[in-house]
Structure 1
Amino acid sequence: MEPLFMEPVFQEKIWGGNSLNTIFGFELPSERVGEDWAISAHPHGVSTIKNGPFKGQKLDQLWQEHQELFGNQQGDVFPLLVKILDAADDLSVQVHPDDSYALKHEGEFGKTECWYIIDAKPGAQIIYGHNAKSREELAQMIREERWDELFNRVTVKKGDFFYVPSGTIHGIGEGIMILETQQSSDTTYRVYDYDRTDKKGNARELHIDQSIDVTTVPARKESLNILEKRQGESSVITYLETEFFNVYEWQVHGILKLKKQAPYTLATVTDGFGRLIVEGKTYELTMGTSFILPNDIESWEVQGEATLIASEPGKNV
């Protein structure tokens, strides 16, 4: 069995730019591309397989018709979505619901996500959490637009990692590129959007009532138990093991040998270049390459000088 390589799916955004071209070499449809949905079966942007016996098929179709590729996992929906985001401008400050709220109100799963900072301009910041002590105080601070008091800002740099569970107020700042691993959901509640208007002069919709409903209060302090396992000059860094996904960094300096530890594995090259070797066959890897290693691939090897962010379905998926 071959790895499944993905065609990128680009999403134009009011805050997007062209760094997915200048850094990753992608051919973009405009100068305002904010996202590459790198591995996705979500109906708002479905990946197409670009190689092998399933070339030209959509990932959602593969999930429905060839469950053996994914270890016969349960569920109607492929559970993960991997994106590369280029924030040429500030994203809205937002929050996502959990599964129970989203299924009841939106008809899809909630959205827990995490971010690996691919690159960031000096001094770039994210909004990560809030300072309200009660839901009543949260509502009051939002209604009074006391943004500087409410939002918690964090300066970031290349290589940082953040866990963003549902209920976390967050916003990606200008000059940041991230690899996002998330539940397969596109439900976002905007708290604040910097009073921006679109090209027609219309303000984008805010979702104040929903945001107050779903925000975790007081904000939860997330602590990561990051583990590194070295293999010569290369290493595997474990960032997260959650009910939704497990996320790793593969740091390749020469050779990195890996074995299957989940029904399937997703990976994206965020830096450098190299080769993926599966059952004696070699596949070239360049920045932005995204692929799935299906269930019947037991082991593989990555060679070169590269960083990849990999993920697997979590224990409850």
Structure 2
Amino acid sequence: MQEILMLEPIFVSRLWGGTRIKEHFGYEVQDSNIGECWAISAHKNGDCRIRNGLLKGNTLSSVYKEHRELFGNSEEPVFPLLTKIIDASDDLSIQVHPDDEFAREVENDLGKTECWYIIDCTDDARIVYGHNAATREELNQMLDDGEWDSLMNSIPIKPGDFFYVPAGTVHAICKGTLILETQQSSDTTYRIYDYDRVDDKGSKRQLHFDKAKSVISVDKAAKNPEPTTYEEENCVRTVYVSSEFFTVEKWTTDGPVRMGSTNYKLFSVLDGKGTVNGSEISKGDHFILTSAASSIVLDGNLELIVSFV
């Protein structure tokens, strides 16, 4: 059985995209307006292919369907996680995502709880994270009146920050920000406000006001869990979040690291180079260590984001 699945990223042009993804990671991409890199994905809207081993050329969705033994014999009907890198050279729309129940009923998709690791950003970068309405009535009135500045909770950010964004949380990634996003495998987004922008054909993007009003949380404010850091031999491991949807950690290694592994894990190399179970890896690589591996052996100076169910 194949221990390591190296993924071929998929690059997506966006109205608010730029060149930072290819410049930061050295990807060979011609488009100058890349907004998203779907780095580890089995979603129908961006299904990555395997680029190594016996399964080379297969899509991740087909490997997940046909080789569940590589994924701990998971009973989830679709591969549950999706890793993206996002370059916001302009503000993304103010938006919200539905939970599983709403998304399955209305969109035939998973809900979308996500989280962000800030890879890099400008000194004045900010994000929208939650809102300031006390009741649903106040929320709906402020939405109807377009009181965006007073409604939205805008906060400054810096490289290395982490934000957990549960379904129902109003949010927006703003200009000058490069992030790694870990999320449920969903592509359902409800736009609330898009700054009246138009695309290259002069058309405004679709908004989803009614659906957004149905799923925005009012009774619980956006709140980040406190990270926990563990210093282990040649590895500093920071656990950012551990929820019913995913666990996300950052590993910084300095020399050989060996640990047991009981289930598959998703890895994104943010910096450095080295090896994993004997295979070479470097900045910009994304891979899955499958359940065929009983241990993880890392060597080198590496900075990785690791996620798993």
State the TM-score, normalizing by the size of structure 2: 0.97
CA deviations over 1:186-217 (Å, ceiling 9, x no partner): 00000111111001110001111111110000
The one-letter code sitting in structure 2 at the alignment partner of 1:308 is L
Assess if the C-alpha contact under 8 Å between 1:95 and 1:168 holds in 2.
yes
User: What's 2:209 paired with?
Assistant: 208
Assess if the C-alpha contact under 8 Å between 1:235 and 1:256 holds in 2.
no
User: What's 2:270 paired with?
Assistant: 270
CA deviations over 1:224-267 (Å, ceiling 9, x no partner): 13111112352111111111111110111223323214x21000
Name the Cα RMSD after superposition.
Answer: 1.2
Assess if the C-alpha contact under 8 Å between 1:34 and 1:86 holds in 2.
yes
How far is the alpha carbon of 1:98 from its aligned partner? 0.3
- Count of aligned pairs between the two proteins: 308
Assess if the C-alpha contact under 8 Å between 2:89 and 2:176 holds in 1.
yes
Give 3-state SS (helix, strand or coil) of 1:54's partner. coil
Assess if the C-alpha contact under 8 Å between 1:131 and 1:219 holds in 2.
no
Assess if the C-alpha contact under 8 Å between 1:132 and 1:219 holds in 2.
no
User: What's 2:65 paired with?
Assistant: 64
Identity rate, percent: 47
User: What's 1:54 paired with?
Assistant: 55
Distance in 1 (alpha carbons) for counterparts of 2:50 and 2:158 = 33
Alignment of 1:1-317 (within 5 A): 1-261=2-262, 263-276=263-276, 278=277, 282-313=278-309
Q: Unaligned stretches of 5+ in structure 2?
A: none
Q: Unaligned stretches of 5+ in structure 1?
A: none
Distance in 1 (alpha carbons) for counterparts of 2:222 and 2:14 = 30
Distance in 1 (alpha carbons) for counterparts of 2:8 and 2:145 = 44
How far is the alpha carbon of 1:219 from its aligned partner? 4.3
Distance in 2 (alpha carbons) for counterparts of 1:256 and 1:44 = 36
The one-letter code sitting in structure 1 at the alignment partner of 2:289 is L
Larger displacement relative to structure 2 (215-224 or 32-41): 215-224
Q: Where has structure 1 moved over 3 Å in runs of 4 or more?
A: none
State the TM-score, normalizing by the size of structure 1: 0.94
The one-letter code sitting in structure 2 at the alignment partner of 1:302 is L
How far is the alpha carbon of 1:21 from its aligned partner? 1.4
Give 3-state SS (helix, strand or coil) of 1:127's partner. strand
How far is the alpha carbon of 1:221 from its aligned partner? 3.7
Assess if the C-alpha contact under 8 Å between 1:124 and 1:174 holds in 2.
yes
Distance in 1 (alpha carbons) for counterparts of 2:247 and 2:202 = 42
Distance in 2 (alpha carbons) for counterparts of 1:151 and 1:190 = 14
Distance in 2 (alpha carbons) for counterparts of 1:158 and 1:101 = 33
Give 3-state SS (helix, strand or coil) of 1:72's partner. coil
Larger displacement relative to structure 2 (230-239 or 123-132): 230-239
CA deviations over 1:277-308 (Å, ceiling 9, x no partner): x2xxx222221100001112011222222210
